[in-house]
Amino acid sequence: MRYIIAGGGTAGWMAAAALARFAPPGTEITLVESDAIGTVGVGEATIPQIHLFNGALGLDEAEFVRETKATFKLGIEFDGWLREGEAYMHAFGAIGRRAGLLPFQHYWLRAKQLGFAKPLMRYSLNELAARTLCMQRRRRAPGAPEMPYAYHFDAGLYAAHLRRFAEARGVVRHEGLIENVARDGESGAITSLQLDGERTIEGDFFFDCTGFRALLIGQTLDTGYEDWTRWLRCDRALAVPCANGGDFTPYTRAIARKAGWQWRIPLQHRIGNGLVYSSAHLSDDEAAETLLGNLDGAPLADPRPIGFTTGVRREMWRGNCLAIGLSAGFLEPMESTSIHLIQSTISRFLSVLPSGKPDPALVDWFNAQCAFEWARIRDFLILHYHANAREGEVFWDGVRAMDLPDTLNAKIAQWQASGFIHREHEELFTEVGWFQVLVGQGVEARGYNPLADAMPEGDLRQLLDGTEAMLVEEVRRMPTHLQFVQTMLKTTNPQGVPA
Contact string 292-331 vs ligand FAD (x = CB under 6 A):
--------------x-x----------------xxx----
Under rule CB under 6 A, how many of the chain's residues touch ligand FAD?
Answer: 39
Stretch that binds ligand FAD, among 86-94, 332-340, 398-406, 425-433 (CB under 6 A): 332-340
Q: Return the number of the residue (156 or 419) whose C-beta is nearest ligand FAD.
A: 156
Exactly one of 17, 76, 221, 339 binds ligand FAD (CB under 6 A); which one? 339
Quick check: 237 binds ligand FAD (CB under 6 A)?
A: yes
d(CA 181, CA 173): 18
Exactly one of 45, 125, 234, 382 binds ligand FAD (CB under 6 A); which one? 45
Q: Return the number of the residue (127 or 208) whose C-beta is nearest ligand FAD.
A: 208
Quick check: 10 binds ligand FAD (CB under 6 A)?
A: yes
d(CA 477, CA 483): 13
Quick check: 42 binds ligand FAD (CB under 6 A)?
A: yes
* Burial status of residue 168 (CB atoms within 10 A of its CB: 0-12, 13-18, 19 or more): exposed
Shortest reach from residue 470's CB to ligand FAD, in Å? 32
Quick check: 177 binds ligand FAD (CB under 6 A)?
A: yes
d(CA 217, CA 215): 6
**Catalytic annotation present for 112:** no
Quick check: 370 binds ligand FAD (CB under 6 A)?
A: no
**Distances in whole angstroms, Cα of residue 234 to Cα of each of 32, 109, 267, 389:** 31, 34, 25, 19
* Burial status of residue 229 (CB atoms within 10 A of its CB: 0-12, 13-18, 19 or more): middle
Quick check: 37 binds ligand FAD (CB under 6 A)?
A: yes
Quick check: 338 binds ligand FAD (CB under 6 A)?
A: yes
Closest CA to 250 of 337, 321, 148, 360: 148
Quick check: 43 binds ligand FAD (CB under 6 A)?
A: yes
d(CA 126, CA 108): 18
CB 203 within 8 A of CB 192: yes
Shortest reach from residue 175's CB to ligand FAD, in Å? 8
d(CA 134, CA 56): 27
CB 291 within 8 A of CB 238: yes
Exactly one of 333, 358, 419, 433 binds ligand FAD (CB under 6 A); which one? 333
φ, ψ dihedrals at 380, nearest 5°: -65, -40
Active-site option among 69, 73, 258, 411: 73
Shortest reach from residue 290's CB to ligand FAD, in Å? 15
CB 419 within 8 A of CB 109: yes
Quick check: 38 binds ligand FAD (CB under 6 A)?
A: yes
Biggest CA pair distance of the chain: 78
Task: Please count the residues of the chain.
Answer: 499
Q: Which of residues 185-214 bind ligand FAD (CB under 6 A)?
A: 209-211, 213
Q: Map residue 497 onto helix, strand or coil.
A: coil
Shortest reach from residue 310's CB to ligand FAD, in Å? 10
Shortest reach from residue 261's CB to ligand FAD, in Å? 11
Closest CA to 400 of 384, 413, 424, 412: 384
CB 438 within 8 A of CB 415: yes
Quick check: 11 binds ligand FAD (CB under 6 A)?
A: yes
Exactly one of 3, 4, 5, 9 binds ligand FAD (CB under 6 A); which one? 9
Quick check: 290 binds ligand FAD (CB under 6 A)?
A: no
Quick check: 170 binds ligand FAD (CB under 6 A)?
A: no
d(CA 198, CA 178): 10
Q: Return the number of the residue (305 or 466) whose C-beta is nearest ligand FAD.
A: 305
Q: Which helix (H) or strand (E) holds 323?
A: strand 321-323
Quick check: 215 binds ligand FAD (CB under 6 A)?
A: yes
Quick check: 7 binds ligand FAD (CB under 6 A)?
A: yes
Q: Return the number of the residue (253 or 386) whose C-beta is nearest ligand FAD.
A: 253
Stretch that binds ligand FAD, among 39-47, 119-127, 372-380, 488-496 (CB under 6 A): 39-47
Phi-psi region of 265 (alpha: psi -120 to 50; beta: other; left: phi over 0): beta
Listed in sequence order, the residues at least 6 apart from 19 whose beta carbon sits closer than 8 Å to its beta carbon are: 3, 5, 27, 29, 171
Quick check: 171 binds ligand FAD (CB under 6 A)?
A: no
d(CA 374, CA 356): 28
Contact positions vs ligand FAD (CB under 6 A): 7-12, 32-34, 37-40, 42-46, 155, 177-178, 209-211, 213, 215, 237, 239, 274, 306, 308, 325-327, 333, 336, 338-339, 342
* Active site amino acids: 73
